[in-house]
Structure 1
Amino acid sequence: MVPGEVVEAALRAARKRDVPVADVPLIAVAEEAGISRSTLLRRLGGSRAALDEAVRATGIDPGGQRPVRERAIEATARLLGSSGLGSVTLERVAEGATCSVHSLYATFGGRDALLRAVYDRYSPDVDLDAALASPRDDLTTTVRAIFRALADSLRREPRVLPAIIAEALARPHDPAAQAVYQQSIGRMLEKISGWIAEEAAAGRIRDLPLFPLVQQMTGPVISYFLLTPVYEQFVGLPHPDDAIETFTETFLRAAATSPPTP
């Protein structure tokens, strides 16, 4: 076990140089601790890694790696995509991100904030915002862009969005699963609902009840791309671009006041 005074000496040396602990030479740590380099190495068991691990155990990232935030988000996404929401514990995330649980609390404040950060990274929100910001005189282009944003988010690895949807469907009465679903899918549907309401008010989409219209638009494309990994094991599927074109034409023929010519 690395003595606490050695850890404190490493932290002081890092602060003085304004660099991560991993970038402080051992001789500088030894000088700060008032011992020789050889004595320091004996106390570390002959390995620099022991010092970095001891610093990490205090909740401080010693450096030499990407920031804890980046590694934790990626580790959480991998857990979500492979094993579902129930697998995401701070202990498993810390293991996958090679950091301490204390570092996760220091960075995110808790599991909920970590999950929000993961969704922000892997959500379709940015692509949806770009699609909805396009000129409103070309309904076909906008609908196609919305479908592409949804398809890309459902196909992207690791499969974060499918995992959230699956968890919400499997555990409809679980507050944690539903909270993540509402925070992620709810925000996405809210953006699309607002756009549909504006298009209906402008007379480009039929003035029908809003929620069925949202379902008519998002339901088929989400179902298709959510289940694509299952479908493609049994049948030949069209190219994703061709599927998006089919969904675009189908929705516009059903909902647009001036459907496009087939």
Structure 2
Amino acid sequence: MDDLVTAALTAAKERGRDVADVPLTAIASAAGISRSTLLRRLGGSRAPLDEAVRRTGVDPGGRPPVRERAIEAAGRLVAERGLSGVTLDAVADLAECSLPSLHTVFEGRDGLLSAVFLQYGPLPDLEALAADPPERLEDTVRALYRTFAAALQRDPKVLPAMFADLFGRSDGPAARMMAVYLPRMFDGLTRLLQPHIEAGRLRPLPLPVLTQLMFGPLLNHLLFRPALEPVLGSELPSLEETLDLFTGAYLRAVALPEAESGEDDTP
């Protein structure tokens, strides 16, 4: 098998492709044998060759990149075990990659967890919303509620686990992720809310206060909702109804009277 592995690596290098993407005909040619002989030696499938290549420490490819596999694996582990239960060893086992590759791609555990937050958290959707914001204040608030509710409910349940870590310790990985991503989140929120403050539709409160008034009740509701549903049943409003209720309550709290009454401020 060693000669076939060498042939496969040689053929892959010559073509600038992963081993899994190199045709068996090319590998057979590099090994100096026919394709039928190659298949006979492999037992009729190229899987043994790919596994032999993997044992040399080379990823044969043919699968999603290590980065994608590791983020998906880490997301599942975060949802199942919480942030404190996620180790690079466990991620490497689940993602079927090596520890050195994780360190190379993510530069350690915090880098991996930050990538997980970026993948499953609200930031990409928030920035997309800020790039094309609704015109009306009410529509903006409702869109923000939907964006953050979707992130909190997204499987795997990464965001609730991160909030649990954040509430449990102020110096943990979730706090360090917040330090990295909060400036981007506040930038998106500023772009969405500041125009309404300047137009006199929204009270000129400090942005941290405006956002805490907005997301505090939502976070409390969504984190407790799985426990409330079996108990309250039909008494609990649907999620869409709940978001509408929160939207109305937020506007009554921070919108200026002209915006609350629905008057058009255009000349």
Distance 1:91 1:34, change over 3 A: farther
Whole-Å separation in 2 of the counterparts to 1:11 and 1:59: 12
Cα distance per residue 1:68-92 (max 9 Å; x no partner): 2222211111111111112322221
Compute the displacement of 1:224 (Å).
1.1
Q: Is the 8 A contact 1:59 1:102 kept in 2?
A: no
Aligned residue number for residue 260 of structure 1: 260
Compute the displacement of 1:135 (Å).
5.3
**Matches of residues 79-228 of structure 1 in structure 2 within 5 Å?**
79-134=77-132, 137-174=135-172, 176-184=173-181, 187-193=184-190, 195-228=192-225
Counterpart residue type for residue 144 of structure 2 = I
Give the TM-score taking structure 1 as reference length.
0.82
Higher alpha-carbon deviation: 97-106 or 250-259: 97-106
Whole-Å separation in 1 of the counterparts to 2:102 and 2:205: 47
**Structure 1 unmatched ranges of 5 or more:** none
Q: Is the 8 A contact 2:4 2:31 kept in 1?
A: yes
Higher alpha-carbon deviation: 202-211 or 26-35: 26-35
Higher alpha-carbon deviation: 7-16 or 181-190: 181-190
Higher alpha-carbon deviation: 59-68 or 29-38: 29-38
Aligned residue number for residue 78 of structure 1: 76
Whole-Å separation in 1 of the counterparts to 2:139 and 2:57: 49
Aligned residue number for residue 246 of structure 1: 245
Q: Is the 8 A contact 2:140 2:192 kept in 1?
A: no
Whole-Å separation in 2 of the counterparts to 1:167 and 1:135: 32
Counterpart residue type for residue 145 of structure 2 = F
Counterpart residue type for residue 231 of structure 2 = F
Whole-Å separation in 2 of the counterparts to 1:230 and 1:199: 36
Q: Name the % identity.
A: 47
Q: Is the 8 A contact 1:154 1:162 kept in 2?
A: yes
Whole-Å separation in 1 of the counterparts to 2:72 and 2:101: 15
Compute the displacement of 1:225 (Å).
1.4
Aligned residues: 258
Whole-Å separation in 1 of the counterparts to 2:54 and 2:221: 44
Whole-Å separation in 2 of the counterparts to 1:163 and 1:215: 19
Counterpart residue type for residue 167 of structure 2 = L
Q: Is the 8 A contact 2:12 2:19 kept in 1?
A: yes
Q: Is the 8 A contact 1:59 1:103 kept in 2?
A: no
Give the TM-score taking structure 2 as reference length.
0.80
Cα distance per residue 1:213-262 (max 9 Å; x no partner): 22111111122112222222322221111001000000000100035359
Q: Is the 8 A contact 1:140 1:252 kept in 2?
A: yes
**Structure 2 unmatched ranges of 5 or more:** 263-267
Whole-Å separation in 1 of the counterparts to 2:89 and 2:45: 25
Distance 1:20 1:39, change over 3 A: closer
CA RMSD after TM alignment: 3.1
Distance 1:113 1:56, change over 3 A: farther
Distance 1:255 1:30, change over 3 A: same
Compute the displacement of 1:126 (Å).
2.9
Compute the displacement of 1:161 (Å).
1.2
